[in-house]
Structure formats: structure tokens, C-alpha cells
Amino acid sequence: MNTGKIFLVCLSLALVFGLIMSFEFSEKDLASEESLWDLYERWQSHQMVSRDLTERQRRFNVFKENVRHIHKVNKMDKPYKLRLNKFGDMTNHEFKSAYGSKIKHFRMLHGRQGGIGGFAHEKTGDLPLSVDWRKKGAVTGVKDQGKCGSCWAFSAVVAVEGINKIKTNELVSLAEQELVDCETDNEGCNGGLMENAFEFIKKNGGLTTEKIYPYSARDGNCDASKRNSPVVMIDGYESVPENDEKALMKAVANQPISVAIDAGGSDLQFYAESLKA
């Protein structure tokens, strides 16, 4: 099914978060080294993490700082909350290295690519106060990219899934792995650009389903037999004008868009939920 144009916003570094189980703690757990160590052991058991004594001691020092950061931020008047999760004893550098994709670096090497045509929603008026495309059934369930810098593929795919639902009333989970394996202008798990993904989908005649071409979280050889089963096509894509919040509002009011965010900070490492205004 041909679905129309995709819209995207590109910022700097992207990360697609998986469904991450949080681990609760209280202020009493932060009272002493002993209570923190007990918390760390309970967290390890919950996450089924096994480390030798030397590594546990080193990781415990990282864990302490992370827990204190989470607690401190949650006491601030911020529009979101953090939770202790499976990244509890990883430094922020390790987190970014393992899960952050290289969109900013890739764009510096390959240049900025514009979309096809102008901005179709330029004259859109009467914008709603809010829109949640999840409630409209245009967003598939949370997916986990694993330790593969394939966020560009996930970001592109979710926009295609969304516009397909709007145009056809069918929500189909599409194949990020097809992009990782077959889109040669990007570098699979080593990073890429959403524009290249959209261009591939357009020229390839569409993208197949996740069921046909399942995600493996690693680079693989392009499977032509699976690739030859496209189910969703697009006409093209457009970039939302940069530094134009009104244009962004117009785009989001009409469909889910592809976006990359700077996900390198400690807050996003432990991000759990946004608070309603």
C-alpha cells in the first residue's frame, strides 16, 4: 500500500529505548554504605547480573553515583521522573557507547540531506492543543534496539508505520532489520541517517514486516528472499523546517514523525516517564 510522504526532524544523537523494567528504592536505601550495598545486591539479583568481587566493588561505586543522581533529580521540579533500571551500574560513557547511535558523526561525514519537495503542512491551521498518536493506534509497541546502533532504522520505521496506519487503518510492525542489512548508504549497527532509510524504502518499493524479517540486533547479510516481500510503500519524505517550532507542531498534528534526540545525558539513561501538566 502506498502511504504518502514521511516527515522527519534531525537533531544530534539518537537512541531508541527498549521496554525497561525499573527497580524501586527509597531514601532509606541511601542512608549508609551498608544500605547502598544491600540495594546493589538486590538490584543485581533482580537484573540477574553476576560479577566477581573486584568488578562488583568497582561497579558499586558507579551504582552509588547513579542512584544518588536519580534521587536528586526526582526531588527537583522537573516534568519527568527517573527510575533505576538495567543500566544502574553503567557509567554514562559506557551507556552512550553501547546504546547511542552515531547520527551526529554520520551527518558530519555525509552532509545534511533535505527531503523531497517543500513542506506540505505549511498552511495547516486550527492545531489541536495536544495529540497522542499512541491513543489513535498509530504507534506500535515499544521495541528494543539492543546493543546495535540502529536507532536510525527504528526512527524511520516508526514514522512509516504511523503514516501507514493513518492512510490504511492498519498498524503493521515493519522490519528494522531489513534496513540494517540491506540499506548500503548507512552502516547498520554502526549508525546512519533516517533520510537514507526513507530513500531506500521508496526506491525498493516498500518495506517488509518484522515477522517476515525479524530483528536480530546485529549486522547481517541482506536476505533477498525476505526483502522481496514489501508490504508498505511511501511516495517520499520531507524535512520539517529547522528551528521552527510551529512547523514541528503542524507536522506532529498530522502524523507521527521521525526524530533523533540528544540522548547522551544521565537523565535519559534513567528516564522513566513524563509528568502530565
CB 117 within 8 A of CB 139: no
- In percent, the amount of the chain with pLDDT more than 70 equals 83
pLDDT of residue 21: 67
Q: How much is the average pLDDT of 32-58?
A: 92
Q: What would the pLDDT profile of 129-184 be if each residue is shown by its tens digit?
A: 989 999 999 999 988 888 888 889 999 999 999 999 999 999 999 999 999 999 99
pLDDT of residue 218: 95
pLDDT of residue 108: 46
Helix (H, G, I), strand (E, B) or coil at 176: helix
pTM value?
0.78
Q: Which domains does the chain have, with CATH numbers?
A: 5-14+101-263 (3.90.70.10), 27-86 (no CATH)
Kindly give, in sequence order, each residue whose CB lies less than 8 Å from that of residue 239, ignoring residues fewer than 6 positions away. Answer: 7, 8, 9, 10, 114, 115, 195
Q: What would the pLDDT profile of 79-120 be if each residue is shown by its tens digit?
A: 999 999 999 999 998 888 776 655 544 454 444 555 555 788
pLDDT of residue 109: 47
Q: How many CA atoms lie within 13 A of 236 on its CB side?
A: 9
pLDDT of residue 273: 84
- 125 against 157, higher pLDDT: 157
Q: What would the pLDDT profile of 171-220 be if each residue is shown by its tens digit?
A: 999 999 999 999 999 999 988 889 999 999 999 999 999 999 999 999 99
CB 39 within 8 A of CB 47: no
